[in-house]
């Protein structure tokens, strides 16, 4: 009889967001007249920028003409897109990244999991707590962990607590770790990292021979000129970091799917025989074997982001969501809640009141004011007692949701 990958059996009962959907659906069925506002999952709501949409339409026309038709594209992505990314997103900020070090993909969520394909099973892996669940769950699936304890922490992982006391930025571990997941601006806490903080991590990684997985999916929301957008703005990062980015949030590509991973050619790791192996070659082989590339239509849409029109439109889109975040911060603060994030980031991290657990606060918001957020405990043990609210929604929904909370908070949340 065929056997399964038993590592899947270690996974906790439900992935965070399906569990949220289950509870919301049950409530909606029991209360069909409830007008539920979802500020939980970080999916965008506003239309694609016109520049991207028009470029995609033109790309469809290209496919209707034999002379401009495109079939299989390069697994790494079309060079005309990678060149624009290299110039605008990295070189313009002093980061020495070349086009052939950029791999176009269908999502940074996918890549942060798939990257494990090129690493061994004996690495010591560090994650922040709270953490984006994909980082942990994909390591569980790959067999890099033991069983979960009562707090949901998996054996074999090194958890780095991020709390209000350390400004939600993980401290350098005392022990040696091999693979390190960092996300800034952070999901879920909305925290940002200074150049000095990232420099400490780069120095640590270089001294230990570690690799940093740097998730910069929300870098477009950074407005502070002193904050780095890429880890490659830090000297030495080319020798110790892989960076993941996405068009999902800055350009609204959550449905059309386009992202990128940067693997510098100067990055190496050890083989079993002790030799140094270029990770670029391994990732290139992995993508060439397991991935057929992002569609021509979508890549043309992504290329339009870098046009003059596209740059103006995505700036307006990012500003819109940041204004939502500001409204959420202000209104929740006025309601007496302690809030973090929401500045240079699209997520607001809320301390739950009156000793409520994260899921108790979730249920109370849903049942009392019909507003959905994300329980902090779903992101890790250190997320207990917190709650994430996403700024990705329409202005009307954000304003109505905040009005409901501020008007009923003092009555229902002492």
Q: Which residues contribute to the annotated binding site for substrate? A: 15, 42, 109, 132, 187, 292, 388
Residues 6+ apart with CB under 8 A from 313: 49, 50, 51, 52
As given in the structure block, the two tokens for residue 397 are: 């929904």
Q: Report which of 74, 44, 16 is spatially closest to residue 284, judged by C-alpha positions.
A: 74
Compute the distance between CA of residue 352 and CA of residue 386 in angstroms, rounded to an integer.
5
347-351 vs 386-390, strand pairing mode: antiparallel
Q: Measured between alpha carbons, how far is 325 from 319 in angstroms, rounded to an integer?
A: 10
Chain center to CA of 208: 26
- Structure tokens that stand for 398 in this block: 């954000």
Contact, 342 vs 328, CB < 8 A? yes
User: Token pair 């800034």 is at which residue?
Assistant: 184
Nearest by Cα to 124 from 98, 162, 154? 154
Instruction: List all residues 6 or more positions away from 92 whose beta carbon is below 8 Å from its beta carbon.
Output: none
In sequence order, the 6+-apart residues with CB closer than 8 A to the CB of 71 are: none
Biggest CA pair distance of the chain: 68
The annotated binding site for pyridoxal 5'-phosphate is made up of 72, 108-109, 132, 187, 218, 246-248, 257, 292
Q: Which residue has the tokens 């350390």?
A: 166
Work out the angle at residue 388's Cα, subtended by the Cα atoms of residues 247 and 314, and round it to the nearest 5 degrees: 25
Q: Which residues are annotated as a binding site?
A: 15, 42, 72, 108-109, 132, 187, 218, 246-248, 257, 292, 388
Q: Which tokens is 394 given?
A: 């329409």
Token pair 């301390």 is found at 351
Looking from the CA of 395 toward its CB, the CA atoms found within 13 Å total 6
Tokens 């103006």, residue located: 312
For residue 185, say if its preceding peptide bond is cis, omega within 30 degrees of 0. Answer: yes
Q: Rounded to an integer, what distance in angstroms lies between the CA atom of residue 41 and that of residue 372? A: 9
Q: How far apart are the first and last CA of the chain?
A: 57
Interhelix angle 16-30/358-369, rounded to 10 degrees, is 30
């Amino acid at each position: 009889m065929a056997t399964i990958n038993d590592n899947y059996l270690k996974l906790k009962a439900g992935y965070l967001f399906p569990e949220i959907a289950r509870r919301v659906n049950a409530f909606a069925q029991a209360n069909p007249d409830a007008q539920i506002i979802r500020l939980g999952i970080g999916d965008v709501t506003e239309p694609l920028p016109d520049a991207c949409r028009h470029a995609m339409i033109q790309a469809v026309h290209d496919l209707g003409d034999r002379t401009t038709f495109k079939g299989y594209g390069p697994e790494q992505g079309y060079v005309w897109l990678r060149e624009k990314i290299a110039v605008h997103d990295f070189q313009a900020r002093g980061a020495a990244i070349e086009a052939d070090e950029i791999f176009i993909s269908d999502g940074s969520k996918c890549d942060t999991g798939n990257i494990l394909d090129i690493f061994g099973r004996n690495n010591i892996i560090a994650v922040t707590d709270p953490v984006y669940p994909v980082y942990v769950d994909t390591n569980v699936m790959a067999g890099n962990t033991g069983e979960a304890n009562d707090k949901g922490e998996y054996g074999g992982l090194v958890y780095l607590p991020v709390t209000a006391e350390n400004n939600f930025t993980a401290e350098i571990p005392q022990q040696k770790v091999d693979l390190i997941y960092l996300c800034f601006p952070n999901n879920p806490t909305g925290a940002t990292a200074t150049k000095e903080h990232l420099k400490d991590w780069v120095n640590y990684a270089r001294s230990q021979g570690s690799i940093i997985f740097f998730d910069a999916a929300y870098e477009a929301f950074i407005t502070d000129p002193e904050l780095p957008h890429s880890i490659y703005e830090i000297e030495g990062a080319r020798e110790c970091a892989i960076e993941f980015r996405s068009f999902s949030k800055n350009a609204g590509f959550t449905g059309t799917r386009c992202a990128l991973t940067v693997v510098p050619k100067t990055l190496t790791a050890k083989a079993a025989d002790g030799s140094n192996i270029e990770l670029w070659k391994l990732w290139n082989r992995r993508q060439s074997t397991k991935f057929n590339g992002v569609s021509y239509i979508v890549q043309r849409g992504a290329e339009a982001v870098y046009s003059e029109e596209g740059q103006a439109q995505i700036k307006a889109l990012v500003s819109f969501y940041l204004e939502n975040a500001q409204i959420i911060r202000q209104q929740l603060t006025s309601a007496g809640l302690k809030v973090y994030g929401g500045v240079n980031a699209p997520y607001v991290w809320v301390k739950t009141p009156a000793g409520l657990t994260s899921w108790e606060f979730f249920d109370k918001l849903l049942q009392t004011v019909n507003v959905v957020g994300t329980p902090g405990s779903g992101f890790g043990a250190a997320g207990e007692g917190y709650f994430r609210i996403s700024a990705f929604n329409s202005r009307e929904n954000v304003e109505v949701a905040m009005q409901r909370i501020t008007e009923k908070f003092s009555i229902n949340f002492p």
